[in-house]
């Protein structure tokens, strides 16, 4: 299987593809680019906004609004006029960190990780925006927090990229994440595990940074399928469309100095049609 470009626009670090069934939009972000982009799945038309802050993750809200996890914290953005409102600051006392990947849990709460922007990458944390507007730290001791996926409301697959594992945790409705149930060692596959999503059979579709591929793995770690890329750095993926049979994949540029030419599609959004059905992304429950 091989994915094809879905958008000619290139980002230094495309991330966070998220399907909004209510609007028919596929959203994604450029982290250092400070960009939010979206694609109309039906027509293929794309648009975007320049952001005043660096985003790390997003979740669809209501009426064309988007919840962003940014370097300031959790904030609500209106895509119609570009205005945003900070809902809750996150780690305001730590200027050397940023948000990196996140998603809404089955209860509609936004969960996103933080990581240091300088070495050592050793004290990242996973935070959850609670319904009352407070922020709870639910997991610590992370280096580069990345993909999250819930096969059941009380289970969480999680990737801390440098470990080259995919960890399955208990996920209580309230309180911190854990304990650890089991881990899938993916160090035998080229590259580093980054973002991921689940299909309808609860198989994991995982983007491998510097691996030029998205791999589909069973919950026990058996390799089922591989989507190959003409670029080395796929970053994350999600299923989209009315029947959730299109896989969209974000990528990063190989270097930030390469020009925008058809010969180098790195940093573009890709798509793979007619896939196995996926599981829907959870919207934010305001």
Choose among 109, 162, 113, 170: nearest CA to 137.
113
d(CA 282, CA 94): 29
d(CA 219, CA 216): 10
Map tokens 């948000």 to a residue: 99
Helices and strands, number each (H, E), in the chain: 0, 24
d(CA 241, CA 37): 17
d(CA 56, CA 29): 8
Find out whether 99 and 144 touch, Cβ atoms under 8 Å. no
CA dihedral for 225, 227, 232, 238, sign (positive or negative): negative
Q: Catalytic: 12?
A: no
Catalytic residue (choose from 33, 101, 194, 199): 194
Exposed (0-12), middle (13-18) or buried (19+): which is 176, by Cβ within 10 Å?
middle
CA dihedral for 171, 176, 182, 183, sign (positive or negative): positive
Catalytic residues: 194
């Amino acid at each position: 299987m091989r994915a094809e470009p879905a958008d000619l626009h290139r980002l230094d670090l495309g991330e966070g593809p998220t399907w909004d069934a209510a609007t028919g939009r596929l959203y994604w972000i450029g982290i250092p680019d400070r960009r939010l982009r979206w694609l109309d799945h039906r027509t293929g038309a794309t648009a975007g906004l320049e952001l005043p802050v660096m985003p790390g993750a997003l979740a669809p809200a209501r009426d064309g609004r988007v919840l962003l996890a940014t370097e300031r914290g959790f904030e609500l953005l209106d895509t119609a006029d570009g205005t945003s409102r900070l809902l809750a600051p996150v780690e305001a006392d730590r200027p050397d960190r940023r948000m990196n990947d996140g998603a809404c849990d089955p209860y509609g709460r936004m969960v996103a990780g933080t990581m240091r922007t300088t070495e050592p990458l050793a004290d990242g944390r996973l935070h959850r925006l609670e319904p009352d507007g407070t922020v709870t730290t639910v997991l610590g001791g992370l280096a580069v927090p990345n993909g999250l996926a819930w096969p059941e409301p009380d289970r969480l697959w999680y990737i801390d990229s440098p470990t080259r594992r995919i960890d399955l945790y208990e996920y209580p409705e309230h309180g911190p994440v854990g304990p650890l149930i089991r881990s899938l060692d993916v160090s035998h596959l080229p590259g580093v595990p980054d973002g991921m999503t689940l299909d309808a059979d609860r198989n994991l579709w995982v983007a491998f940074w510097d691996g030029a591929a998205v791999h589909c793995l069973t919950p026990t770690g058996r390799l089922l399928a591989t989507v190959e890329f003409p670029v080395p750095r796929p970053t994350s993926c999600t299923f989209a469309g009315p029947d959730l049979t299109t896989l969209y994949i974000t990528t990063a540029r190989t270097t930030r100095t390469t020009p925008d030419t058809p010969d180098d599609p790195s940093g573009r959004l890709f798509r793979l049609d007619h896939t196995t059905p996926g599981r829907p992304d959870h919207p934010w429950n305001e």
